[in-house]
A and B are shown apart, each in its own frame.
Chain A
Amino acid sequence: MIARGSESPWRSSLRQLRRNRASMMALGLLMFMVVASLLAPVYAHLVAHVNPFPANVQGTISLGGKTVPVLQPSTVGFGVTPIGPTWHFSSYFLGADPQGRDVFARLLYGGRISLLISFSSAIICCVIAAILGMAGGYFGGGIDWVVSRVFDIVWAFPVYLLAICLSVILLTSGLNIGFIHIAPGSLLLPILIIAAVYIPYVGRPVRGIVMTLREREFIQAAVGSGASDWRILRKEIWPNVAPTVMVFFPMMVAFDMLTESSLSFLGVGVQPPNATWGTISNDGLQLLYTRPWVSIAPGICIVLTCAALNVLGDGARDAFDPKAKLRGGA
């Protein structure tokens, strides 16, 4: 038998997470999605021989020796029906969208922005929420009052309504506060909006944890020994808050991705020429009955990514949240 020295809780939690097979599979799937999307500029032209951004209304491709237009006149009424999935990696694997653009290539590029938005929103959200929650819970008094009221009000507002309110107004005019100018089409707007609406989700639990920590002996001892607030927050509070934020993070990324796609679906999310899985799905809506893959494929990407993130989040909770640990006897 080997005697084991005590291990830092972080290390042992990480080890536990690494041993969780479902979580590791989810992580693998997630990494695949991320890498496939990030490398889109490197290889997308190999699967789609056309640029996925400009419209390609007059384009043609050769299929089985025949030359076929990408957009064909619709069989019913007006409009056009884009070419369906060729299931062939040379071109139009998933067919074309109403503007004749390659859906598969757009999916790869769209993933970049979807992932960019959801990850950066989640990071911003967790950072701000941790700062607010720690400040409110640690200092109490007036600071806590303001923080809690802000949380209450944002909390009392359905997330989507608040996000839509902000989007509607900011997407037409952009944001101009003092020296900060954000153009209406900027990706920063959806990122900031989505980050803002979820702050109470993370901030409230953080504040609760800090408030209970505040009463514990080791914090009181640190206060008594004259350590500065900054030092206590950094050395004593943060290490206890970090696991909670860790557990929330993958879940928030999934939330943010769903929110982004929903906002884009409603037309108040990401604006063209940028494309995300949400906007691509929205573009395909008018073709739902003739070319369903345009709308379904990006949805599948969203579901897979979010499911992977949620499985990962569950694994993180099992590993980092002591409450989920089995209680020993004796």
Chain B
Amino acid sequence: MSSNPTPQSDRRGAGDDDAVLKVRDLSVSFATRQGLVRAVDGLNLDVAPKEVVGIVGESGSGKSVAMYSMLGLVRDANASITGSVVFEGREILGLSDKEMQPLRGGQIGMIFQDPMTALTPVFSVGWQIVEQIRQHTELTKTQAKERAVELLAEVGIPDARRRVDSFPHEFSGGMRQRVVIAMALSCNPKLLIADEPTTALDVTTQAQILELMGRLRDTHGSSIVIITHDMGVIAEMADRVTVMYAGRPVESGPEIDVVRSPRHPYTWGLLGAVPRLGERSERLATIPGNVMSPLDVPEGCAFAPRCEYAMPECVRRPAMTGGDHQHACWLSDEQRVAIGDRTKEAS
């Protein structure tokens, strides 16, 4: 493991007492025939109440696996999960399914990437929301149904009282994502985990859903962890952001700092590739090469093989350093300035 565990004391807004979620050194690896795959490698994360934390990276960077593993949703006998996940002051990593069930859907809600497949096709949306409410509360069927109607109205589904009995396929993609959000919020969770909530939607709907989530954060008071590959979403929503590459965090800090003065070459790439809202692109084409196979991650800096500025030092793995705005890169500040000047001249 890396030489120095990250110092936490100097982090903003995530003091040990009031943090909703505190993740330390989370690692997830899968034993495969070709060898050990480290899907997540040493992730740290702090989420304060009402805070929106973004995790950004290309697909395959391990950001979703990290979230699923926290909730015990990685159900692979070959997976090994280590580290610590403290939710509301309680260690939840390694809890049994039974102990996790009240948390899942009750205190931690989840929103998934593809609203077209996230709902069970054969039950009405109202039934599915009621099912979750009754799983976690003592409400009666009628009360739960009433609550479902309120929730649907709140997330902006017109004519909610009638639509509550409709089936998932009778909604458009955006409307279905609203249903999924309503469901995730149905038990007033402390924490909402949104896994690429807008990726499968068209651009106008994306903006609406983001706006809705921002509004709900204020009314319900949930913290949000939003997973995305889209820096535009981060700029729109997040208070803090962690950039992940090949399962490792490479940069983290307040959204403003990371977006305005990114320090890691990978983040530069992501920002260079930032698709402005309205011109969504699936691939971040300006970073040369693709995310490597998780089997081929080098011992040193994972990004080095694709990095324009790779140096001899990069064969050793850089630790996350810095205060509130951390990064894992061997470049010195002088070198960064020089690179910045060169880029300016070139343009």
Taking beta carbons and an 8 Å cutoff, which residues of A are in contact with B? 1-4, 326, 329-330
Contacts of B68 in A (CB 8 A): 329
Q: Which of B49-78 contact A (CB under 8 A)?
A: 59-65, 68, 74, 76
Known: A329-B74, A330-B63. A3 touches B293 (CB 8 A): yes
Q: Is the CB of B61 within 8 A of A330?
A: yes
Complex alpha-carbon distance, A1 and B34, angstroms: 8
Q: Is the CB of A330 within 8 A of B39?
A: yes
Complex alpha-carbon distance, A329 and B59, angstroms: 10
Nearest residue, chain A, Cβ from B68: A329
Known: A3-B293, A3-B295. A330 touches B34 (CB 8 A): no
Complex alpha-carbon distance, A330 and B36, angstroms: 16
Contacts of A329 in B (CB 8 A): 39, 64-65, 68, 74
Q: Is the CB of B63 within 8 A of A3?
A: no
Q: Mark B255-296, 1 if CB is under 8 A from A, else 0.
A: 000000000000000000000000000000000000001011
Known: A329-B39, A329-B74, A330-B39. A4 touches B34 (CB 8 A): yes
Nearest residue, chain B, Cβ from A1: B35
Main secondary structure of the interface of B (DSSP, over half): loop
Contacts of B293 in A (CB 8 A): 3
Complex alpha-carbon distance, A329 and B64, angstroms: 7
Nearest residue, chain A, Cβ from B34: A4
Chain B residues with a Cβ closer than 8 Å to the other chain, count:
17
Contacts of A2 in B (CB 8 A): 34-35
Q: Is the CB of A330 within 8 A of B35?
A: no
Contacts of A4 in B (CB 8 A): 34, 295
- Contact with A1, one of B60, B64, B295 (Cβ below 8 angstroms): B295
Taking beta carbons and an 8 Å cutoff, which residues of B are in contact with A? 34-36, 39, 59-65, 68, 74, 76, 293, 295-296
Contacts of A3 in B (CB 8 A): 293, 295-296
Q: Is the CB of B76 within 8 A of A330?
A: no
Contacts of A1 in B (CB 8 A): 34-36, 295-296
| List of 6 A-B pairs having minimum Cβ-Cβ separation, nearest first | A1-B35, A329-B65, A330-B64, A330-B65, A3-B296, A4-B34
Contacts of B36 in A (CB 8 A): 1
Complex alpha-carbon distance, A4 and B65, angstroms: 23
> Nearest Cβ distance between residue B131 and chain A, in whole angstroms?
24
Given contacts A330-B60, A330-B61, 8 further A-B contacts (CB under 8 A): A1-B34, A1-B295, A3-B296, A326-B76, A329-B74, A330-B39, A330-B59, A330-B62
Complex alpha-carbon distance, A229 and B59, angstroms: 37
Nearest residue, chain B, Cβ from A329: B65
Contacts of B35 in A (CB 8 A): 1-2
- Specify which of A3, A4, A326, A330 lies most central, judged by the most chain B CB atoms within 10 Å of its CB: A330
Complex alpha-carbon distance, A161 and B322, angstroms: 80
Complex alpha-carbon distance, A4 and B74, angstroms: 25
Contacts of A326 in B (CB 8 A): 76
A and B contact pairs by CB, cutoff 8 A, 26 listed = A1-B34, A1-B35, A1-B36, A1-B295, A1-B296, A2-B34, A2-B35, A3-B293, A3-B295, A3-B296, A4-B34, A4-B295, A326-B76, A329-B39, A329-B64, A329-B65, A329-B68, A329-B74, A330-B39, A330-B59, A330-B60, A330-B61, A330-B62, A330-B63, A330-B64, A330-B65
Complex alpha-carbon distance, A3 and B63, angstroms: 23
> Nearest Cβ distance between residue A5 and chain B, in whole angstroms?
10
Complex alpha-carbon distance, A1 and B68, angstroms: 26
Complex alpha-carbon distance, A4 and B68, angstroms: 27
Complex alpha-carbon distance, A185 and B35, angstroms: 59
Complex alpha-carbon distance, A3 and B296, angstroms: 6
